[in-house]
Amino acid sequence: MTQDGGGNAAQPVTRKVVPAAGFAWGLVCVVLLSLAVVLVPAWVIQPFRPQGQRELAVALVLRRFAPVVTIVAMAFGLWLIWKLWSPGWRRASVVISALLLAGALWLSRTNYFEYMFRPDPTPHVLALNQAGLDPDDMVLVVRAGSESRAYPVRMMAYHHLVNDTLGGSPVLPTY
């Protein structure tokens, strides 16, 4: 201990130090929360996947608030990354965390359902014996005059629209 100017012993200054493990766990939680608000709706809102009313309501609420949650998560995550930035293996993990937070931020502002359900740019018309349908496959059938065409519901659920010509007239089957 040293003496201050008045001859008294100076008290050592103690600082409360938060262990890096606390910041690391905080960062893990922020990344998981950020990813959850964008990935849970993508998982719940899928064709051919049964959804309960409550599950769908939660997914829609998450989708609605995802932009705000991911901005807050990104800001808090960057603060945690700043606290954790040190030489060694942690730099790689915090950079990966930053990329995951940025990805969630981008996804929350993007209609990623458009990527999941994009139109098929090159639909192929095949004879029924070449189509490779399972006996249990449901089909959407369009008939124009003496011509008819069947569109597998499994494909229509992802692409929604098919520009086609049937009986010499343009048709646009949708599901």
3-state secondary structure of 169: strand
| Residue 64 identity (one-letter amino acid) | R
- Give 88-110 pLDDT, tens digit per residue: 667 888 899 999 999 999 999 98
Asked if 98 and 78 count as a contact pair (C-beta separation under 8 A), the reply is yes
Beta bridge partners of 141: 150
The residues spanned by each domain of the chain are 20-116, 128-171
Q: Which of 25-29, 89-93, 143-147 has the lowest mean pLDDT?
A: 89-93
Asked if 57 and 65 count as a contact pair (C-beta separation under 8 A), the reply is no
Q: Tokens at residue 163, please? A: 């520009």
Asked if 77 and 97 count as a contact pair (C-beta separation under 8 A), the reply is yes
Q: Tokens at residue 90, please? A: 């942690």
Would the pTM of this model clear 0.75, i.e. be above it?
no
Q: Tokens at residue 128, please? A: 């029924």
Mean pLDDT of 10-14: 64
Nearest in space to 42 (alpha carbons), one of 26, 28, 25, 60: 60
Helix (H) / strand (E) containing 142: strand 139-144
- Give 34-77 pLDDT, tens digit per residue: 999 999 998 998 777 788 899 999 999 999 999 999 999 999 99
Helix 20-44 and helix 90-108: axis angle, to 10°?
30
